[in-house]
Amino acid sequence: MINVIGLGYIGLPTALMMASHGLEVVGTDYNKGLVDTLNSGRTTFKEDGLDKLFDEALKAGIKFTTEYARTGMYIISVPTPYDKFSKKVDPGYVVAAVRDVLKVCPPDATLVIESTVSPGTIDKHVRPVVEAWSSETGNRINLVHAPERIIPGNMVYELLHNNRTIGADDKAVGEEVKACYASFCQGEIVVTDIRTAEMTKVVENTFRAVNIAFANELARI
Ligand SMILES: NC(=O)c1ccc[n+]([C@@H]2O[C@H](COP(=O)([O-])OP(=O)(O)OC[C@H]3O[C@@H](n4cnc5c(N)ncnc54)[C@H](O)[C@@H]3O)[C@@H](O)[C@H]2O)c1
């Protein structure tokens, strides 16, 4: 079973995709209103194809709750807002979600961070929390980073067709996570290390930002 933590713009469709492609999925969000809306059979935002995907996932048995599940794999897709004062991405929600998951997860669980983070964030902010838990409990956790690359507006298509990068400490664990994404993703999925996966996301976003800035400069001319 997979527990998707954070059922917003990224987490909800990811959970729905996996559920509608044969995986057992529980979606968790601490926003009770959001969970109540989903449990009443309504989606929380509009995107082409989302309602159909939602119906398929419901038929496949997806569950929505405010509780964290005890299971072997977690996908964390909580916000990572840009802090305009420090000019850094704030990893606070991710770290809080990891701490919450560690309260319930079994030994050897896999924690997939799907949120957008800057390179080095997992080693600097997530790994120390996991290592402290490991030395307290004597158990280990598998850390994975699988950044989401979709652009809003065409999300369902992009989830199905984009290539993906999965960074893992352990290649075999990376391959297991790849198999979950490959249940729905028709693009290429590359397994690499966590640092490289973090880097691919910032390189892609920077490339896009440079091109937008270039187009704006041309428009001014
Ligand atoms: N929105 C996009 O187009 C997009 C594209 C690519 C990547 N991303 C990245 O994906 C991540 C998620 O973004 P989003 O747009 O889905 O955010 P969002 O604000 O739409 O949803 C996040 C959800 O997480 C929930 N949440 C936060 N902390 C929680 C916790 N500890 N336990 C349970 N639920 C919790 C919130 O209640 C919220 O519903 C961010 O890192 C973002 O940068 C977003």
Average pLDDT over residues 12-29: 98
Q: What is the pLDDT of residue 10?
A: 97
The protein residue whose alpha carbon is closest to atom 18 in ligand 1 is: 8
The protein residue whose alpha carbon is closest to atom 27 in ligand 1 is: 78
What is the Å distance from ligand 1's center to 171 Cα? 26
Question: Does the pLDDT at position 76 exceed 90?
Answer: yes
- State the chain's mean pLDDT as an integer: 96
Q: What is the pLDDT of residue 169?
A: 96
Question: Does the pLDDT at position 98 exceed 90?
Answer: yes
Q: What is the pLDDT of residue 140?
A: 95
Question: What's the pLDDT tens digit per position in 50-66?
Answer: 999 999 999 999 999 99
Alpha-carbon gap, residue 122 to 39, rounded angstroms: 33
Average pLDDT over residues 212-219: 97
Is any atom of ligand 1 closer than 6 Å to the C-beta of 100? yes
Contact 177, 18 (CB under 8 A): no
What domain range includes position 186? 2-220
Is any atom of ligand 1 closer than 6 Å to the C-beta of 97? yes
Q: What is the pLDDT of residue 212?
A: 97
What is the Å distance from ligand 1's center to 116 Cα? 9
What is the Å distance from ligand 1's center to 217 Cα? 32
Average pLDDT over residues 124-140: 97
The total number of structural domains that make up the chain: 1
Q: What is the pLDDT of residue 192?
A: 98
| Nearest CA among 130, 79, 128, 80 for reference residue 105 | 130
Is any atom of ligand 1 closer than 6 Å to the C-beta of 91? no
Alpha-carbon gap, residue 199 to 55, rounded angstroms: 35
Q: What percent of the chain has pLDDT over 90?
A: 96
Contact 26, 7 (CB under 8 A): no
Average pLDDT over residues 192-218: 96
Question: What's the pLDDT tens digit per position in 155-165?
Answer: 999 999 999 99
Is any atom of ligand 1 closer than 6 Å to the C-beta of 165? no
Q: What is the pLDDT of residue 104?
A: 97
Question: How do 142-145 and 164-168 pair as beta strands?
Answer: antiparallel
Q: How would you class 13 by CB atoms within 10 Å of its CB: exposed for 0-12, middle for 13-18, buried for 19 or more?
A: buried
At 180, is the pLDDT very low, low, confident or very high (cuts 50, 70, 90)? very high
What is the Å distance from ligand 1's center to 8 Cα? 5
Is any atom of ligand 1 closer than 6 Å to the C-beta of 75? no
At 151, is the pLDDT very low, low, confident or very high (cuts 50, 70, 90)? confident
Question: Does the pLDDT at position 152 exceed 90?
Answer: no
Contact 189, 178 (CB under 8 A): yes
Is any atom of ligand 1 closer than 6 Å to the C-beta of 169? no
CATH number at residue 176: 3.40.50.720
Average pLDDT over residues 139-157: 94
Question: What's the pLDDT tens digit per position in 108-125?
Answer: 999 999 999 999 999 999
